[in-house]
Every structure is written in C-alpha cells, then in structure tokens.
Amino acid sequence: MRLSGRLERYVLARTLGGVGSALAVIAAVIILVQFVDLSRQVGVRADVGPADLFGLTMLRAPSVIQILLPFVFLFGVIAAYVGLNRKSELVAMRAAGVSAWRFIMPSATCAFLAGVLTVTALNPLAAALNARFEVDRARMMENYLPGAPKEVWLRQGDETNQIVIHARSRDMVQGAVRLRGVSLFVYQKDQQGRPVFKRRLEAAEARLMPGFWQLQDVREATAGENSVHSDSLSIRSTLDAESAMERFASPDAIAFWKLPAAIRLTEQAGFSAAGYKLRFHQLLATPILFAAMAVLAAAFSLRLARLGGLAGLAGAGVALGFVVFFFNQFSGALAKGDIIPLYAAAWAPPVVALLSGLTLLCYTEDG
C-alpha cells in the first residue's frame, strides 16, 4: 500500500525509530551472549584470541537475530505508539478526525515489507554466514575433541537407484566433501518401485566431485559373488558439495531460495521432507507474522494515557506476543510429529495473531 501524507510519514518515522532502537538492544544482547558462549566452547584453545571469537560471533548472530525479529517489531511498535500516546499526539490525531486505522497502517505495512525483505535477503545471508560459522568453528576445534562422534549418514537417489552412504567422519578439502571409512549400500528399484539390494562398496575415502563420488581403495561385494578390489572407482551422484553439507544441517540453516531444491532432493532420496516443507511455509508466512506483531502492539498501545492503565496494556501486549511466538513453535513441533498438517502449523499462528489484533482494534475503535 502506498503511504502518502505528512501524518503517515511521521508515524512511519516514529515506528522505524522504535524498531531500530529495539533491534539495536536485542542485537547487542545476542552478540554479548553468543560471545560468552563461544568463549566457553572455543576459547579454551590457547591459539584462539578475542578477535577470532568476535568474528565467529558476528557470523552466528544474524541467524539468532532472525529468530527474534518478531519481538523487534513487537517492542519497537509498542515503544513508538506509547511515546505518541504519552505526548498526546494520538489525542491530537483523533481530535482532527483521523481514524486509528490510518495511523496504524504505516506500521503494519512497514512490518509486512520488512518480513518480505527478511525472507528474500536476510535469510539467505544468515544461512551463508551460519555455514561459514560451522566451518570456522570446526576448524578451530579440529583434533581438540578426538572422542566426539563424527559419523555421517547420507542418502541419494533417482528414478532407478537408491544409495545409502555411511562414513566414520567427514571434512571439507578445497571446497569438496571428503568422507573417510565409507560404506555404500546400493539398491535398485523394481517394477513396483520397491528398493532391492544389489551391492555394497567399502572405501577408505570418498570425495564428492561434480556429478560423482570418487572412491579410493575400494572393495565391492555383490550378493552371491566374491568381493572385487579396486584402487579407485567413480559412482554417479545426485548431490553437490553444498547440498551434501546441507544434509548435515537442520532445515532452519538452509536458505529460503534453496529449500525447494532441498525438498526435491530429499524426496528423491526416499526421506521425509516434512521438516523442509514446514520451514518453507513458515518463511512464506513471516511477513504476515511481522504485520500481526505490529497490529497487536498498536492495539495494546492506543489507550489514552490520561485514563491510566497504559503500562499494563503494553505489558499485556508483550505477553501476548510471547504467547504467539511459543504457539508458533509448538505448532511446528506438532507438525514434525505428524499430529497436525504442515500448512496449518505454518500459517495458523500468524493468521490467528493478525485476526486477533484486527478484532481487538475493531472492538476498541469501532465499538
């Protein structure tokens, strides 16, 4: 919606100021907490200095900030409208015959557009930085915890074959995924689409190259036949280095633009893509969630300051925002357990929150 008029621009400026202040406070707290946490995890290495820890912190912080952005809009919009209310600016607007819907719309529109920007730009950036964070942290902690479990399970497939891959450890070498102590179980689909075991390969090392796995020191065994040894062997792969690394990450760590491909590859490999689908629809619903937080914040901040109880209402708005956030997380957990549909889990919390805010505004403003 196009914002026009001096009033809308003024309210928008106050909203942006409140949101910016809330973002600065929350980001500072997140950076401090992450720095302390990484100091306990990685700082035990004598060769890791404060600059290294701060660099890791800045790589990790965008992913955490992205999770808490709904609270940024909740706190920021509440601060903006409470400030307008205490300075009697809302009273002046009402006295001039301005409807509450007119000075709430800039905040809701701003939150919605910020949600679109978060999904399309911030989410891919945060995912890329988080991937870099994992690589750098693993490099810093390499060989420090030799007893830590590093086993890897992967699965790839197409219309005719399925391959289950197990390895004792993994790492990255010149941008390529390298597995050690590898076992590959090859299945071929029959006419009914059921996988039938065909052969097993044991390799000392497997490196993922563009379009294939390069195996070293390979021993191949087929049912009813003797094993065959090869110095090297190539196996076709439907994975690339990036998608293979994404299999080790949670759906929250995959960028929005890459989720459709991750869903397709996961389903081709015979796995359930429910987690990826849920994350994809939650990201699609993010602009509505941000707008709902802005509307709820405004609805709880419009009570005239001279009537009293404004602080209590603002506190109730904050509490309701936390309820919406945990309702969203709880719905996601139910969907992952196949208790409720994925679409309901992703879209119901933001839509219910938005409708609740609009209902409250209709009740208080229009009777």
Among 253, 272, 291, the domain-final residue is 272
Q: Is the pLDDT of residue 148 over 50?
A: no
Please indicate, yes or no, whether residues 71 and 92 belong to a single structural domain of this protein.
yes
**pLDDT at site 243:** 58
Q: Are residues 119 and 215 in the same domain?
A: no
Q: Are residues 12 and 130 in the same domain?
A: yes
Q: Judge if 159 and 252 occupy the same domain.
A: yes
For 9-32, how does the pLDDT look when each residue is reduced to its tens digit (9 = 90+)?
A: 888 888 899 999 999 999 999 999
Please, what is the average pLDDT of the chain? Answer: 79
Which of these three, 247, 272, 297, is where a domain ends? 272
Say how far residue 65 (Cα) sits from the centre of its chain. Answer: 10
Determine, yes or no, domain membership for 43.
yes
**Which pLDDT tens digit goes with each residue over 247-301?**
555 677 788 888 888 787 777 666 667 788 888 999 999 999 999 999 888 887 7
Number of domains in the chain: 2
Residue 303: which pLDDT band, with cuts at 50, 70 and 90? low
For residue 5, the tally of other CB atoms under 10 A from its CB is 11
Give me the residues paired with residue 163 across strands. 156, 186
Residue 39 lies in a domain: yes
Q: Rounded to an integer, what distance in angstroms lies between the CA atom of residue 155 and that of residue 195?
A: 13
**% of the chain residues with pLDDT over 70:** 83
Task: Specify whether 309 is located in the same domain as 260.
Answer: no
pLDDT at 104: 84
Say how many CA atoms lie within 13 Å of 301 toward its Cβ.
29
State yes or no: pLDDT of 342 exceeds 80: yes
pLDDT at 1: 41
Structural domain that includes position 203: 152-272
Instruction: Based on the fold, state whether residues 11 and 101 are members of the same structural domain.
Output: yes
The answer to whether the beta carbons of residues 297 and 321 sit under 8 Å apart is yes
Residue range 110-119: mean pLDDT, rounded: 93
Whether residue 146 lies inside any domain: the answer is: no
Q: Which two tokens stand for residue 101?
A: 């819907």
Query: Which letter does DSSP use for residue 269 in this model?
Result: T
Domain boundary among 248, 272, 296: 272
Question: Concatenated DSSP letters for 84-126?
Answer: HHHTTHHHHHHHTT--HHHHHHHHHHHHHHHHHHIIIIIHHHH
